[in-house]
Amino acid sequence: MKRDPWPNRHTEECTSCGALPDEIHYVDCGGHLGTGIRHHDGARRYLRRKFNDGPAQEPVSRPGHRFYVTAYKGRRGGVSYLLGPYVSHMSALAAVPRARRAFDERCPDLAPFVGFGTVSRPDTVPTVFGR
């Protein structure tokens, strides 16, 4: 890949300093969304990874329960059941990255603000993406 002769040049309009595409941004500019990253999509991917990846969940054993992959959208948004039901918590945990990719493809503007995880229930509920 060819090296950019102007490493401070933005690829899109800067949200921090207001520089237009192909303009040099100010020295103290924090980059897009305050991340220091010049490319807007790169800054969004960085923030998505930083804030959506919480602590890793530990496997749980609950006889008679079914496990689901969920998306949590805050207090008012509630919980959406994305994938499931699974017989074991390990298989639900393994499906979290697949649910995250499917949700990102379907709702790319909402995906940075959603947390993903698992939940168990004694009954069967319908899911958005099936199993």
pTM for the whole thing? 0.54
Ranges of residues in the chain whose predicted pLDDT is under 50: 6
Q: pLDDT tens, 18-42? A: 666 666 555 556 665 666 676 767 7
Phi, psi of 71 (to 5 degrees): -120, 130
- The three-point CA angle 127-89-72 to 5° equals 45
- Tokens in use for 87? 């017989």
Contacts of 22 (CB under 8 A, 6+ apart): 9, 10
Closest by CA to 112, choosing from 120, 103, 125, is 103
Kindly list the distances between the CA atom of residue 65 and the CA atoms of 30, 70, 97, 112, in Å, as whole numbers in the listed order: 48, 15, 22, 30
| Side chain identity at residue 109, one-letter code | D
Please report the pLDDT score of residue 130 as a whole number.
83
